Structure 1
Amino acid sequence: MTDSPLNDRTVVVTGAARGLGAALARELARRGARLALLGHEEPELRALAASLPTTALAVDVDVTDNTALDHAAGEVRRHLGRPSVVVANAGIAEGGPFATSDAASWRRIIDVNLTGSAHTARTFLPDLVATSGYFLQVASLASLGATPMMSAYCASKAGVEAFAHALQAEVAHEGVAVGIAYPAWTDTDMIRESEQFTAMRQLRTHMPPPAATIHPADVVAARLVRAVERRRGAVYVPSWLRALQAVRSALPPVVLRVSRHALLHLDTGRPLRATGPLGTGGRADHDR
């Protein structure tokens, strides 16, 4: 797609080894972008880079490590040139009751999802200023309305939304655009594994049917990449999620009512258990 504004541009994607990150990389490559694929699981990153139709660089890095990110940024500039787009997609999740959650695991989710996104922005902002570039923060449906059993994930995604709004206002005068992506349930191994836990599956299926639908990762990625091309301030997948912005203050009572009913029937003498890190990417981060 040589008519894309992304053609021959350098784009950084974090959390690129699998799931939505890998789908984003493939969609961006179709538009002629040079890809810097950042994340854990170096073999998967290298395999993805080799499969893309454009130049791609695989960099094994932990987004919570400032020094490692600085080194990764140097590698990107040296091999691909200054990036003009950065997609902060890296994220992990774990489900289970907050009261019995492991404190270190809970904190790690915040560190990766929120602090890691901020580190990513801090590292690449000089490049985005130099190129009048675009930063896309991948948030979530969870940014609009929190759910039980996912307290760390919901807190982190609410945090990245607030961070992106603040950054958006700070850098607009420098020619840098910031967008926030609000994908709903996406078919990744993280979501597929969560479906194996009764409480997690029940909480999703008790949502209204449109909100409970799981969307293919490549469909979500295509929508997000179109938003990157247009430098959108926000992108919702599916698009009707935008309507939740107008009524988001009414969501907590609805979630409370639904979860009170659902969890009452699930928590019958046998304590609800934690899922542990969800998905291969979550376990890779844990092992790291």
Structure 2
Amino acid sequence: MADIRPLDGRTAVVTGAARGLGAGLAHQLAARGMRVALLGRDAATLAEVAATLPTEAGVYEVDVTDDRAMERTAREAERALGPPSVVVANAGVAEGGPFASSDPATWRRVIEVNLVGSAITARSFLPGLTRTRGYFLQIASTAAFGAAPMMSAYCASKAGAESFARSLRAEQAPYGVAVGVAYLHWTDTSMIHDVDRHPVLRDLRAQMPRPARRIHPVDQVASWIAQGVDRRSATVYAPPWLRLAQAARPLFPPAVTLLSRRRLSRLPDTPLEQTGLLGHGGRIETDHLARTHGSDPAPPSRP
């Protein structure tokens, strides 16, 4: 009889698991019988997520951009839960605003978390994935398709994360480790809620075709991604119709430029201000930057 629960009893690692999509993925993978290592910056919230899972879970408060801390966490998680069969590099932050007036530390932090943090996650857990011939999934975005104005750091980081994962896929193929890229669109998280509080970003999103501006529930997006994990898919689309957008990728940059030229020029009375790091995760990262640099480099977006 075929094994209809191939992930049952195995171990998954999810970064950025304290809330939003990371927490949703943890629930999806636990429902498949997996033990789950929850990684993030907020131990208390991670513990709340762990308490709701039907399987064994470990809580690891860690900065994904800290090489040594991540290597230590990988060892601890493997001792407690076993070698990972699935690793999801989900941790991410975003900011909005004109690049010319962006705060260098804030802009750099988006790149560090979204791109460098994903690479560190892969490096830390690859030894375990190699032993299990497991699956590494990089959470990317439609921001990798066509770079949007006012989101330069986020778009650059997601395009970089996509390329990193594709390179890693080729390297790991001989060793039986599968690598996938998940392309997400608008997902109902605190990051998106903060985007819509800023007039310019809200206006730019409103100009998209109706299907492209729809916001999808976290549980639905997590379900789509978990189905990709089941299949060890090279590409995962959430929503699935994004697969059709791949063929049109060469058209996106000129279309975005044309739209931006028209819309931004009509907003002379709207200040093009920095949003700060968006969402709950962004506020945690803002506090981190304040401690690191001795002052708040850019105010976080608040409700």
Query: Cα distance, 1:4 vs. partner?
Result: 2.2
Q: Could you say what secondary structure the match of 1:146 adopts?
A: coil
After superposition, the C-alpha distances for 1:253-284 in whole angstroms (9 at most, x for unaligned) are: 11111111221122x14531011110111111
Residue 106 (structure 1) aligned with residue 107 (structure 2): yes
Trace 1:1-288 onto structure 2 (pairs within 5 A).
3-266=4-267, 268-288=268-288
Percent identical across equivalent pairs? 58
- Measured in 2, the distance between the counterparts of 1:286 and 1:14 equals 18
Q: Deviations over 1:27-80 (max 9, x none)?
A: 111111100000111100011111111100010000000010011111101110
2:100 alignment partner, SS class: coil
Task: Identify the residue that residue 294 of structure 2 maps to in structure 1.
Answer: none
Q: Secondary structure at 1:136's aligned position in 2? A: strand
The answer (yes or no) to whether the contact 2:200–2:270 under 8 Å persists in 1 is no
For residue 181 of structure 2, what is the amino acid of its counterpart?
Answer: I
Listed one character per residue, the Cα deviations across residues 110-132 of structure 1 (whole Å, up to 9, x for unaligned) are: 00000000000011111111000
Long gaps (5+) in structure 2: 289-303
In structure 2, what is the Cα distance between the partners aligned to 1:206 and 1:173?
Answer: 45
SS in 2 for 1:125: helix
**Aligned partner letter, 2:132:** T
Equivalent pairs counted in the alignment come to 286
Flag as ranges the 4+ runs of structure 1 deviating above 2 A. none
Mapped to 1, the partners of 2:75 and 2:38 lie a distance apart of: 14
Any idea what SS the aligned residue of 1:63 has?
coil
Shift of 1:15: 0.4
Deviations 1:147-180 (A, max 9, x none): 0000000000000000000000110110000000
Partner deviation per Cα, 1:234-266 (whole Å, 9 max, x = no partner)? 011111211221121111111111111221122
TM-score with structure 1 setting the length? 0.97
Amino acid at match of 2:251: A
Distance 2:89 2:112 in 1: 13
- SS in structure 2 at match of 1:186: coil
Code of the residue aligned with 1:276 in structure 2: it is G
Once the 2 structures are TM-superposed, how far is the Cα of residue 287 of structure 1 from its aligned partner? Answer: 1.2
- SS of structure 1 residue aligned to 2:266: helix
Q: In 1, distance between residues paired with 2:144 and 2:62?
A: 26
Amino acid across the alignment from 2:6? P
SS in 1 for 2:272: coil
Instruction: Report deviation, 1:225.
Output: 0.5
The letter of the residue matching 2:148 is T
Amino acid at match of 1:173: P
SS of 1:265's equivalent in the other structure is coil
Per-residue CA deviation, residues 126-146 of structure 1 (Å, 9 max, x unaligned), is: 111100000000000101111
1:99 aligns to what SS in structure 2?
Answer: helix
